[in-house]
Amino acid sequence: MHTTRFAFILALCASAALAASGEVKIDSGKLKGVTANGVISFKGIPYATPPLGDLRWRPPQPVKPWTGAREAAQYGADCMQNPFPGDAAPLGVKPAEDCLYVNVWVPAQPPAKHLAVMMWIYGGGFVNGGSSPAVYDGSQFAKRGVVFVSFNYRLGRFGFFGFPALTKENPNEPHGNYAFMDQIAALKWVQRNIAAFGGDPKNVTLFGESAGGGSVLTMMTSPLAQGLFRKAICESGGGRGSLMPPHNLAQAEAIGVAFAKKNSITGDDAAALAALRKLPADAVVDRLNMATMFGAMSTYAGPMIDGKVVVEEPDAAYAAGHGAKIPLMIGANSADIGFNRFKSLDDLFAQFGPDKDKARAVFDPDGKGTVSTVGTAVSAIQIMIEPARHMARIIAGLGQPAYEYRFSYVAESMRKQWKGAPHATEIPFVFDTVEARYGKDLTPADEATAQAANACWVNFAKTGNPNGNKLPGWTAYKAATDQILDFTEKSPVAGPDPWKARLDVVEAVADRPKK
């Protein structure tokens, strides 16, 4: 019998057995999942050895196999952090340093062929977040015929840390960006194991939001992640450089020494490193979260150019022709994250130099705006919205499919409070988990938008094209036409970007040579 056909028959048999028993065998042992509402879920699957003790600030190490069928009914711990009050995606489990777990949702009905795979990277500024929030449940994706995967990656100083003794301890290993190393390890786990769940390792779409979206762009350009996924979706993940000011490894090591000194650990040798590894997890967190991170930069490095995992910024990598040649869907929200730092409108528009009058005309056409409202709107375009177009333009210019979207839909219950879609509010619509987010206030219009968004994301994962299911004709991005798909409060609308003039004036400043 032909080898490929034999492998296909084995895969179908495995899928049928999975549907019948809820059990699956992966490279580290057997798993027992939970079947509910036409979906089988497997939660809390270790994809690496717990990064404890001497494995703190080491690349993820292989899982030790287990015997018997491991119960996979509960999430593993989310990664160690100081939870952010008021988070729209609150954690469902208690954080811990032992946190490198993956979760999988599959259709209970055995497929006739291997299914497309969607792999989610959560946001949270690289200091918060996890896979356990209810809005990240993957059931709706599985019901639409894909295998959905989520996972945890190390955060804060556990995820990004440099120290001279670390570099000397294992000189041939990558250092500093442990969060990104976790993401690569999870991608490799999918390549080894997803066929056992009925997924196609050759059709993996990586997608994420905010820090997760920035991570997707990083994975698209990391030499160590090449070939591990075939499509990418970036939600509010920037596109011009990093979401945070990047450091190189040497600068991160100096920040690590400062953190040690703050904890009364002197020197930068092996003894100092051993003392750092003995610090309680809470002391390593040291109250770090999204509310405090910008005040903690003297002792927290964040993502860095380490030379092995991350060698250059994503847009620079693609401009140099170094990025993965895969389709990209990218966009941001209409009232995305923005910060006003100006004292007056004159001060605000001065940054546009010779284009200041043009900027005033497009951002404050009636002259009635306040520095707070206009400054925040300008900042949102600078931080998230124009960078998404910037990345789409680069990708399209290389001849690769790129689709740009904007999410403008606001849940009906929030329209008196929000004048646009704030940062991260697209997530429950993309996941079609709006009931978990809005509960009794959910409306039919909210549900319809969620179904449309979820369908777009699934279509793209399956085929590389988000169209279908009676959705509007959303053409691939071209700079000449500047077309996007806008999820408006009435319905998704495909057409030329209505904010083109705003983005153009911001682009002119962003592309201006730095002094």
Q: Are strands 101-107 and 147-151 parallel, antiparallel or unpaired?
A: antiparallel
H or E stretch at 70: strand 69-71
DSSP characters for 435-457?
Answer: HHHHGGG--HHHHHHHHHHHHHH
Structure token pair of residue 394: 């680069």
Mean pLDDT of 158-164: 98
Task: Tell me the CATH number for domain 1-160+167-244+308-326.
Answer: 3.40.50.1820
Indicate if the pLDDT at residue 6 is higher than 50. no
272 pLDDT above the threshold of 70: yes
What is the residue extent of each domain of the chain? 1-160+167-244+308-326, 340-515
Residue 469 pLDDT grade (very low, low, confident, very high; cuts 50, 70, 90): confident
- Pairwise pLDDT comparison (78 vs 243), residue with the higher score: 78
Same fold: 1-160+167-244+308-326 with 340-515: yes
How far are the Cα atoms of 114, 231, 387, 507 from residue 395, in angstroms, in the given order?
28, 12, 12, 16
Strand runs labelled E in 190-263: 199-209, 231-235, 247-248
pLDDT for the residue numbered 114? 94
Name the architecture of domain 340-515: 3-Layer(aba) Sandwich (3.40)
Mean per-residue pLDDT over the chain, rounded: 94
Confidence band of 19 (pLDDT split at 50, 70, 90):
low
- Over 50: is that where the pLDDT of 296 sits? yes
Quick one: average pLDDT of 6-23? Answer: 59
For residues 223 and 64, give the distance between their C-alpha atoms in angstroms, rounded to a whole number: 27
